[in-house]
Chain A
Amino acid sequence: MSRHSRRILMNYVFVGLASLATLVAVAALVMILASLVSKGLGGFNLGVFTQDQPGGGGDLGTGGLRNAIVGSLILCGVGMVLSVVIGLLAGTWLAEYGDGNRLASLVRFLNDVLLSAPSILIGLFAYQMFVVPFHTGSALAGAAALAILTIPTVTRTTEDILRLQSSQLREAGMALGAGKGLVIRSIIWKASRTGLMTGALLGFARMSGETAPLIFTTAGNQFFSMDVTHSIASLPIVIFNFALSADENWQRLAWAASLLIAVAVLSANIIGRHLAARGSQHK
């Protein structure tokens, strides 16, 4: 076979494999979503949004997820604010101010280690830091635990994306007399918008389904509450408690909650990417 046709063949094989890989991923997603949707959709009624968690033994179709939805919004909202702010700034520090700096190497290394921390241990740490001293679980403690879980993801992606921006952008900004901070904020961050948004979205995806950090900090509240200084309900906890129970009504709510989380992540993805792409200059 001539060298030329061999190269063409390799190319086709590669394209084929890459397409196959994508197909496998999409197929897996479709399979899992199919189970999720078939079990979750049937459990929806208007009450899911207007009623709170039911006690055990309720008739099928009673009760809802209102308190859990509100609770999850609060927890993820506060958690995301914390993680994006700290993660973005920390990642920026590592990428822009941390070259050749031994402290930066240490922070980077520890950040990667924290990526693999079992979420239940983070929950335990948050319990000892934020719950025991105050003698009560609280939504704030839960949000802090979720933030500790997510910050490494955001930091890692931020640093990776910022590093890839070509140095010409930075040099151009500085040549115009802008200080380093200004260069970063108005040029580099803007240029990396979609990448930074990816980091935030990945963090949100991870945070939205995590149960373990919440178990010791804000393990649920079957009643409606917006009091962040005490425990509130959340969708992952509801799923955790209800999915493995013997109560049919509870199980249908668990599946409905799982579907809600998946839809929330999907919407966040779509909206986030839209926002990021609006001002960006990507192809």
Chain B
Amino acid sequence: MFRKIALTLGAATLLAGAAQADNFTGAGATFPAPVYTAWAQAYHQATGNAMNYQAIGSGGGIRQIKAKTVDFGASDKPLQPGELNQAGLMQFPTVIGGIVPIVNIPGVGAAQMKLSGNVLGEIFLGHIRNWSDPRIHALNPSLRLPNLPITVVHRADGSGTSFIFTSYLSVADQNWSRSVGASDSVNWPTGLGGKGNDGVAAFVKQTVGSIGYVEYIYAQKDHVAYTLLQNKAHQFPMPTPVAFAAAAAGAPWGRAPGNYVLLIDQPGAKAWPISGATFILMYKQQQNAQKAAEVLKFFDWAYKNGDAAAGKLDYVPLPLSVKNMMRKQWLQIQSGGRPVYQSH
């Protein structure tokens, strides 16, 4: 009898999934997972189609789209145009976020300390080792900084956040660019590695005299003291969605081949210097036109209706002009010689 039950259950399980709505899968970056899943939930309610997003990391997403085991990939760092062409992929951005440095110094609260990209780089290189260093004092003449050794906290796991952060340091500090460079995972000269944004925030909160970097939403949620950062216009904006949007506004989307744009050190008085977009990867030549059309329909819907959800989650939606630019680029995605995307 037990066997009969087992067999019926097994058959039912296999057959249960046979008839489904138009479902499609994507995999990749963890940074936008909250907003992608929020969009997927609303889209499912609106249309009955299920967008199954798996947050396994940008590298995983790139690997899976290259192996064609998902319908689209998602990556926090844009692929270089050469790599795109070689694989036959195209990429487009969806939302924007910002990265903020956080500190744990007795007597220093949120948004009180000012840093510049150069000083930040020197700290992370281990060249500035103490909070009483004159270079820090020069930027913060009115702040009383204790004689406290600096403990650097970085990401242990490879991440798009690290990629954007180290790209910024490479641009802002020549020493950094020479000795370390930019990548999702680098040979950090000094410091501890925390796992995930939460890990870094936890380390910083638990270690007096430490400095780290996290995505904006974690700085808010974990109640850590974030710093101000000097931007290209020599201003010290607060890290807010307005500042991230200001960075995006000045970016050369139309002119960048393959949409390879890093929102680092962008011009603008209010622009936050460490921002980044997150990207979707799709093949230019699609074998399953129906699936590809579904994917683009979803992102079109997200462009139209997803701004509120994104804002609620502290992401910055793309400017309308950029969205329209991307819609035109979707015509590159074709199957059998015809574009799969029908613009309406």
Are chains A and B touching in the complex at the 8 Å CB cutoff? yes
Instruction: Give A residues with C-beta under 8 Å from B.
Output: 53-58, 74, 131-132, 135-137, 215-216, 219-223, 225-231, 241, 243-248, 250
Closest to B198 in A: A244
Closest to B16 in A: A226
Most buried by A among B69, B196, B198, B222: B69
Kindly state whether residue B67 has any CB partner on chain A within 8 Å.
yes
Q: Known contacts A131-B69, A221-B52, A226-B13: does B197 contact A244 (CB below 8 Å)?
A: yes
Say whether A223 contacts B52, CB under 8 Å: yes
Say whether B54 contacts A220, CB under 8 Å: yes
CB distance from B162 to the nearest CB of A (A): 15
**Chain A neighbourhood of B70, CB < 8 A:** 137
CB distance from B95 to the nearest CB of A (A): 11
Kindly state whether residue B299 has any CB partner on chain A within 8 Å.
no
CB distance from A67 to the nearest CB of B (A): 11
Contact of B69 among A57, A58, A137, A245 (CB under 8 A): A137
Most buried by A among B52, B53, B70, B196: B52
Say whether B17 contacts A223, CB under 8 Å: no
Which B residues from 14 to 48 make CB contacts under 8 A with A? 14, 16-18, 20, 23, 25, 27, 30, 33-42, 44
**Chain A neighbourhood of B325, CB < 8 A:** none
Given contacts A55-B41, A222-B41, A243-B198, 10 further A-B contacts (CB under 8 A): A56-B37, A58-B38, A132-B69, A135-B67, A215-B56, A227-B20, A241-B30, A241-B33, A244-B198, A248-B221
Kindly state whether residue B137 has any CB partner on chain A within 8 Å.
no
Q: Known contacts A215-B60, A219-B56, A223-B50: does B41 contact A245 (CB below 8 Å)?
A: no
Say whether B41 contacts A54, CB under 8 Å: yes
CB distance from A244 to the nearest CB of B (A): 4
Instruction: Give B residues with C-beta under 8 Å from A.
Output: 12-14, 16-18, 20, 23, 25, 27, 30, 33-42, 44, 50, 52-56, 60, 67-70, 195-199, 215, 217-218, 220-222, 309, 312-313
Say whether A57 contacts B17, CB under 8 Å: no
Contact of A241 among B18, B55, B195, B222 (CB under 8 A): B55
**Chain B neighbourhood of A244, CB < 8 A:** 195-199
**Chain B neighbourhood of A245, CB < 8 A:** 33-34
**Chain B neighbourhood of A137, CB < 8 A:** 25, 54, 69-70
Say whether A216 contacts B60, CB under 8 Å: yes
Secondary structure of the B contact surface, majority rule: helix
**Chain A neighbourhood of B42, CB < 8 A:** 55
Closest to B308 in A: A57
Complex: how many Å from CA A54 to CA B313? 14
**Chain A neighbourhood of B221, CB < 8 A:** 246, 248
Say whether B313 contacts A57, CB under 8 Å: yes
**Chain A neighbourhood of B44, CB < 8 A:** 223
**Chain A neighbourhood of B52, CB < 8 A:** 220-223, 230-231
A-B contact pairs, 5 of them (CB 8 A): A55-B309, A56-B38, A57-B34, A244-B195, A250-B34
Say whether A228 contacts B198, CB under 8 Å: no
CB distance from A242 to the nearest CB of B (A): 9
**Chain A neighbourhood of B217, CB < 8 A:** 246
7 A-B pairs closest in CB distance: A227-B17, A56-B34, A55-B38, A219-B54, A55-B41, A55-B37, A226-B16
CB distance from B18 to the nearest CB of A (A): 8
Say whether A216 contacts B34, CB under 8 Å: no
**Chain A neighbourhood of B56, CB < 8 A:** 215-216, 219
Closest to B43 in A: A55
**Chain B neighbourhood of A248, CB < 8 A:** 221
Q: Known contacts A137-B69, A220-B54: does B13 contact A74 (CB below 8 Å)?
A: yes
Say whether B67 contacts A132, CB under 8 Å: yes
CB distance from A53 to the nearest CB of B (A): 7
CB distance from B239 to the nearest CB of A (A): 15
Say whether A135 contacts B69, CB under 8 Å: yes
Say whether A57 contacts B309, CB under 8 Å: yes
**Chain A neighbourhood of B37, CB < 8 A:** 53-56, 222
Say whether B53 contacts A222, CB under 8 Å: yes
